[in-house]
Structure 1
Amino acid sequence: MTKLKLGLKRSRAFIGVLLILFMGVGIGRAEEVRLTFLHTNDMGEISGKSGFGGFPELSTLIQMERERSPNSLTTFGGDLISPSLMSGLSHGVEMIEMLNLLKVDVAVIGNHEFDFGPDVTRDRLKEAKFPWLASNVSVAAGVEALGNQEMMIQDMGGFKVGVFGLTTPDTVYLSSPGKAVAFEDIIPAAERMVAKLKAEGADIVIALTHMALSDDLRLAEEVDGIDVLLGGHDHKAFATKEKNTVILQAGSDLRYLGVVDLLVERKEKRGKPYLSIVPSWKLIATTSINPDADVGSVVASYQKELDAKLEIPVGPTEIDLDTRRTTVRTKSTDFGVLIAHAMKEEVDADIGFTNGGGIRGDREYAAGTVLTRKDILTELPFGNVTVKLEISGKALKDLVEHSVSKVEEGAGRFGQFSGLEYSYDVSKPSGSRVTSVQVAGKQIDPAATYTIATNDYVAGGGDGYAMLKASKVLIDKAAGELMASTVMNFIEKKGGVKPGFAN
C-alpha cells in the first residue's frame, strides 16, 4: 500500500513537471520579435548629392529593408518642403509627392516646413498620405490648426509602438511660423508625451525629433522611457546609445537610410514580467544602389521641367567659389561677399550683410564655370528679398557679435559682409568676442548711424538677429527685390564674377 501511494505521488509530480515545461515552451512564453525603423531626414532637394543616390535609390533601399524585416515603420525627421531650387517655385509640392511614393508612415515637422509661412505648411500637410507629428507645436485659439498630430500608436508584431514628435523651439527665429504658432520646451513636452503613451498601453516609445543633436542627447539623458530617438536638423550621420535610448540621425539630402532594429521579447524575472529590448543600428549609403524605375520617372519629369526654366546662363566666374555648408558658416567666402556686395550696391547701403545659413548650394565652382539661374537659385532658395535698414553703431557691433557667437558650432547666423571688416577671438565667451569693427576703413562710432542691406528674414529677427527688428526700415519687403535676382543682376551687369569685384 505504501509503495502504491509513493508511485502515485511520483507520477503526479512527473506530470506536473511536464505541464510546466509544456506551458513554458508553448503557450506561456512569447517569441522574440524584430521591429525595424527606417529613417531619413533633411531632404530639401529632389535630386541627390554628387556621389550618392536620390529618391529612386532610397526607394530601393527601403523596399529591401521592408522585405528583410516585415515589422517595419518608415519615418522622416523633418525639413522637406524647403529649402531647394524647386521649392522656391513650387513651395515643396513635389517633395510631399516623393514621400507619398516612398510610403512613409509618419513624419515630424521641421523648421523648414514653415519657410513659406503657416498657410503653406497647412497645405502641404493636407497633401501628405501620412501623419505629421509635432507634440510641442500648437496654434492660438481661433486660428486654423496646422494639421499636425500629437502622437501615434502602431501595432508592430504584437507590440504597441507609440510615437511622438518634437520640433525645435528655435523655429520661431529660424523660419517663419507666424505669431499664432507656439513651441513648447522639449523636456516637459517629452515627459508629458511619454506618460501619455504609456497610459495608452505603448510597449515601446519612439521620439521623432527635429532639433539640435545636443538637444537629442539632453532628451535621452533627462527623460526616462524613450527607447529610440530618430532625429534630424543638424545634417549629421550619427548613431549611438545614451543611457537606455538609441539615437540616430541619417545625415541629409538622401545620402543615407538609417536603420534601427529592436529584438523585443516578453520575459519574466523573479515572478515579474518585463520587456527585453536589444537594439542594433546601421546607416546604408544610397551609393551604387539600383534605382526604383517608377520613382525615377517621377523625379526625371520634375527635373526636366525645372531645367527648362532655369538652365539660362547668368555669367562666368573667373575665381573659385565655395558654398559648402562648413565654409559659409565659419568664414568669409567670396560667394558670401558676392551676395552681400550685390545687395549693398542694389540699394546703395554702407554695408551688405547676409547670414551664411541662407546659402544652401553646398558645393564648389571652379574658375571658368558659367553660372546659371539654376545655380544662383540653388544657393538662395528661400525666396528672400533685399531690404535696407538704418542701424546704430552700437546695434551694428551687437550684430557682429551675434554673427560669431556660435561659429564653432557652424550655426547659420554666421555673417557674410561687404563694406565691413572685423576681427574676433573665438576663445572668448559669446557676446564678448569681437575686438574690432570697421566700416569703410574706420572704426565704428556707437552713436553714429549706418545703412545696411540685408535679407528680409534676418531683418525680421531671423537667426536671432533681434537687434535688427528695432532698426528704421528704409526699403521694406514689399518694395524689395528678390535676393537671388539681386545677385543675378549684379553678375550680368559686371559680365561675370571677376577678381576684386567688391572693390
Structure 2
Amino acid sequence: MPRLLHYSDIENVYDDPVRAGRLAGLVRALDGDDALVCGTGDTTAPGVLSLIERGRQSLDFFAAVGADVDTFGNHDFDYGPAATRGIVADSPQTWVSANVRDEDGRQFPGTVPHVVREVDGTRVGLVGVTDPATPSLNPMAADLTFTDPYEAVETELEALRAAGVDHVVVLSHLGGGDDELARRVDVDAILGGHVHAERREYVDGTLLLRPGANGHVVFEVELGADDGADSRARATATRHETADAPVHEALSERLRGRVDDAGLDEVVAVVEEPMDRSEETVFGGECAVGNFVADAYRWSMDADVGLQNSGGIRNGPPLDGEVTIADLVSVIPFEERVVLAELTGEELRAVLRECAAATVDFGEPDWWQGHLSGVELVWDDDREAVVSARVGGSPIDPGATYSVATADYLLHSDHEFPTIDARHRAAEGRIQHEVLADYAREFGLDGGVDGRIRRVSGCAADD
C-alpha cells in the first residue's frame, strides 16, 4: 500500500536547527520504499535564514529528507522568479505545478504539470496547484501568471486517467479552495497548505489535509485504505508530531550558526514580560506584539495611524529577555518597506472593517486581521460592524484625510485590506524590521496591551 509523507508551510523551521533536525528526522524515520516525501508549498520561505540565503537554505533540508515532489506556495517566490528557478534547478525533488506560468506565459521552468510515480507496486499520479491570488499576496510574483487551479487539475486528471494510474493526489497550496476542488474532481487525497490551521477530514469522500506551519506536524497518508468512517474514503492519514522525533544531526549541524554569522545578534531591547506571537494570539485581536509593530510603523512615519496585517507577523517563540535584530527579523522576515498612505476618513473606516475576517477572504472565520496604533476601535463580532472608532481621541471625520503607516505589501494586495491600494501612497520609509529595531532601541518593548481594540457582542453600530 503506497504511503505519502506530507509536510507544508515549514517556513521558519530553518531558524531553529534542532526543530528542523527533528522534522527531517521524523520524515527519515517514516520513509521507505513504499513512500513518497511530499511538500505542498512555502517550503523555502519566509524566515530569518531564508531572508539571508534567499531561500537556498531549503536545499539542505530537501537533501536530508530525500524530497520526492513539491509544489509552489506564495512565499516560494519571495525573492523573485529567478531565485525560485535556481532553487528548482538545484533541488532533488520534482516540482509539480499545473497552474503557474513564467513571465512569458509558459510552464514555469523546471516544473511539470503532473507526474506519475510507481510506489509499492501501484501507479500514483500527482498534480500541483497554487493559489491564483499569489501575485496579490506576493508582489515578487507579479510578473507570473497563475491560471484557474480547478480547470488545471481537471485537465491533468484526464492525462493521468489515460496513463492508467491507480491513485490521484493533488498537492495544493489553495488553502480554503481545497473544499471546492474536492467537490469538483474525483481524487484520493488533497494534500494542502497555505492556511496554517491543521486539518484532517473528508469532503465528498476525498481526504483533505493540512499539517499546519513551521514543521511541527507530518501526516503519513495511506492510499487505498478505508478507515470505516466513510465507505467512499480512499485514503487515511496518521498525524505525527515532530517534538519528540529523533534529530537529523547532519542537517542541524548544517544550519547551526548561520543566522549568527549574518551579524544580526545585536541586542536592541530587553523584554520583561514575554511577548507571545502564536497564531492564537496574533489572530485573536489586540496583542502586545501587534501593538509594538503598529506603534513602530506610526512612529517611523509620524503618521496618524499604524496598521499591520496579522498574517505578516510570523509565528515563533515569544520575544523574551534580550531581543536581537534577528529576533525582530523573525517577527516580520520580509524585505518590504514601511510606507505612508493617505486615506479619507470614510476609507479609513472601511479599512477598520477589513480588520475582521468576516469581511476579508483569508484564514479562519474568527481570525482578526489587523493591528492598530493611534486608533481606539470597538468592533461587534455579532453584527460584524464598527461600534465606534476614534483617531487621536476624536471620532473619525469621513471627509478628513488621515495618514496611515503600513507595510508596502498592502498597497499591492487586493486580498487583505483591499481598500488600500497604490494610489494612496504618499511616502516611503525603511525596511520593516529596520523600523522595528529603531523603535525598540528608542522606546524598548514593554509587552503590554491597552485596550485599543475591543471586540464585543450585541452592540448597536454607529456606522
TM over 0.5: yes
- 1:412-491 aligned within 5 A: 414-428=369-383, 433-461=385-413, 463-476=415-428, 480-491=429-440
Count of residue pairs the alignment pairs up:
444
Q: What residue in structure 1 maps to residue 41 of structure 2?
A: 78
- Output the CA distance in 2 between the equivalents of 1:98 and 1:500: 38
Once the two structures are TM-superposed, the CA of residue 207 in structure 1 deviates from its matched residue by: 0.5
Runs of 4+ in 1 over 4 A off after TM superposition: 47-50, 410-413, 498-503
* Code of the aligned partner of 1:222: R
Alignment map for 1:135-214 (pairs within 5 Å): 135-141=98-104, 145-212=108-175, 214=176
Q: Note closer, same or farther for the CA distance 1:290–1:498 as it changes in structure 2 (3 Å cut).
A: closer
* 1:493 counterpart residue number: 442
For residues 73-105 of structure 1, the C-alpha deviation after alignment (integer angstroms, 9 at most, x for no partner) is 110011122211112222211013211221100
- Is contact 2:269–2:322 with CA below 8 Å preserved after alignment? yes
Q: Taking structure 1 as reference, are residues 192 and 172 closer, same or farther at Cα in structure 2, changes over 3 Å only? A: same
Q: Which amino acid aligns with 1:237?
A: E
The TM-score with structure 1 as length reference comes to: 0.81
Deviations 1:1-31 (A, max 9, x none): xxxxxxxxxxxxxxxxxxxxxxxxxxxxxxx
What is the Cα deviation at residue 305 of structure 1? 3.1
> 1:464 Cα shift?
2.8
The reply on whether 1:97 has 2:60 as its aligned counterpart is yes
Deviates more, 1:35-44 or 1:327-336: 327-336
Aligned to 2:317: 363
Q: Is the 1:260–1:280 contact (alpha carbons within 8 Å) kept by the matching residues of 2?
A: yes
TM-score (norm 2): 0.87
SS in 2 for 1:98: helix
Asked if 1 retains the 8 angstrom alpha-carbon contact of 2:340 and 2:425, the reply is yes
| 1:242 is the counterpart of 2:203 | yes
Please tell me whether residue 217 in structure 1 is matched to residue 183 in structure 2: no
- Quote how far apart the aligned CAs of 1:263 are: 4.4
| CA distance in 2: counterparts of 1:277 and 1:343, whole angstroms | 50
Q: Give the conservation status (yes or no) of the 8 Å contact 1:116–1:176.
A: no
Deviation at 1:297, TM superposition (A): 2.0
Alignment of 1:324-339 (within 5 A): 324-339=278-293
Counterpart of 1:384 in structure 2 is 336
Distance (Å, rounded) in 2 between the aligned partners of 1:83 and 1:410: 24
User: Taking structure 1 as reference, are residues 435 and 173 closer, same or farther at Cα in structure 2, changes over 3 Å only?
Assistant: farther
Cα shift at 1:133: 1.7
Question: Does the Cα contact within 8 Å between 1:228 and 1:246 map onto a contact in 2?
Answer: yes
Structure 1 match to 2:92: 129
Structure 1 residues 437 and 146, CA gap change in structure 2 (3 angstroms): farther
Greater shift in the superposed pair: 352-361 or 239-248: 239-248
Structure 2: how far apart are the matches of 1:198 and 1:62? 30
Does the CA-based 8 Å contact 1:388-1:451 persist in structure 2? yes
Structure 2 spans left out of the alignment, 5+ residues = 226-231, 453-463
Unaligned runs of 5+ in 1: 1-33, 265-275
* Residues 1:280 and 2:236 aligned together: yes
2:269 matched residue in structure 1: 315
In the alignment, the residues of structure 2 paired with residue 223 and residue 498 of structure 1 have an alpha-carbon distance, to the nearest angstrom, of 48
Structure 1 Cα separation of the partners of residues 145 and 368 of structure 2: 22
- Residue 461 of structure 2 is matched in structure 1 by none
Comparing 214-223 with 252-261, greater Cα deviation is found at 214-223
Does residue 290 (structure 1) correspond to residue 277 (structure 2)? The answer is: no
